Chains A and B, each alone.
Chain A
Amino acid sequence: NAGVIQTPRHKVTGKGQEATLWCEPISGHSAVFWYRQTIVQGLEFLTYFRNQAPIDDSGMPKERFSAQMPNQSHSTLKIQSTQPQDSAVYLCASSLDPGQDTQYFGPGTRLLVL
Chain B
Amino acid sequence: GNSVTQMQGQVTLSEEEFLFINCTYSTTGYPTLFWYVQYPGEGPQLLLKVTTANNKGSSRGFEATYDKGTTSFHLQKASVQESDSAVYYCVLGDSNYNVLYFGSGTKLTVEP
Task: Tell me the A residues contacting B by CB distance below 8 Å.
Answer: 4, 31, 33, 35, 42-45, 48, 55-56, 59, 91, 93, 95, 98-108
Where chain B touches its partner, the secondary structure class is loop
Please name all residues of chain B whose beta carbon is closer than 8 Å to the beta carbon of A42 when the two chains form the complex: 102-105
Please name all residues of chain A whose beta carbon is closer than 8 Å to the beta carbon of B96 when the two chains form the complex: 98-99
The count of residues in chain B whose C-beta lies closer than 8 Å to any C-beta of chain A is 18
Where chain A touches its partner, the secondary structure class is strand
Q: Which 6 A-B pairs have the closest CB atoms?
A: A105-B43, A43-B102, A102-B46, A45-B99, A42-B104, A98-B98
Instruction: Establish whether residues A98 and B89, one from each chain, have CB atoms under 8 Å apart when the complex forms.
Output: no
Task: Tell me the B residues contacting A by CB distance below 8 Å.
Answer: 41-46, 49, 89, 96-105
Docked pose: A107 CA to B101 CA in angstroms: 18
Please name all residues of chain A whose beta carbon is closer than 8 Å to the beta carbon of B42 when the two chains form the complex: 105, 107
Please name all residues of chain B whose beta carbon is closer than 8 Å to the beta carbon of A105 when the two chains form the complex: 42-45
- Nearest A residue (CB) for B103: A42
